Structure 1
């Protein structure tokens, strides 16, 4: 299935995320195809940039992806396996 959005990221950040969390940004894009995904505000007052966190399934794994919407582009910031609180929220939705 084709992704309905355009994605981008910093290559260095993608490499460090893969090393730290074992999740590639390429794979993380698939979370946006999950019709049950949960999307919440994840902005930080420190930098003023709008950030979102979406939690959804990718190949049977529940992932949380932090991103910044930039016009028509989803700028991926980080991706990791969902924590227990995120798993509960997803299951209860």
Structure 2
């Protein structure tokens, strides 16, 4: 699937969290990634914890828009999320 995002939100996210939306491809391609549905929003969203390009666990939040994945946010995994990822 092709990834898409809002460029302004990408820049804001990079400044705030130090994680680029472009790294979402690494996270979503991680064979050990953990994906959890997020039912708190009107649209279907998913939270995936997976390894980024440096191997550090990162979190990406996204939704499906037709045949594309729309990135909503990306950040470093917190301690609890890292523990879930590492099992």
Could you say whether these structures have the same fold, taking a TM-score greater than 0.5 normalized by the shorter chain as the test?
yes
The equivalent of 1:74 in structure 2 is 69
TM-score, normalization by structure 1: 0.86
Measure the CA separation in 1 of the matches of 2:56 and 2:83.
14
- C-alpha distance in structure 2 between counterparts of 1:43 and 1:67, whole Å: 12
Q: Secondary structure at the match of 2:3?
A: strand
Which stretches in structure 2 are left out of the alignment for 5+ residues?
none
Q: Deviations over 1:55-81 (max 9, x none)?
A: 000121110000011222110000000
- From 83, 87, 90, the equivalent of 2:82 is 87
For structure 1, the 5+ residue unaligned runs are none
| SS of equivalent residue, structure 1 residue 60 | coil
Q: CA deviation at 1:83?
A: 0.9
CA distance in 2, matches of 1:66, 1:33: 14
Q: Per-residue deviation at 1:25?
A: 0.6
CA RMSD of aligned residues (A): 1.0
- Cα separation, 1, equivalents of 2:39 and 2:25: 20
Q: Structure 1: which 4+ aligned runs deviate by more than 3 Å?
A: none
How far 1:43 sits from its partner (Å)? 3.0
- Do residues 57 (structure 1) and 44 (structure 2) align? no
Matched, 1:10 2:35: no
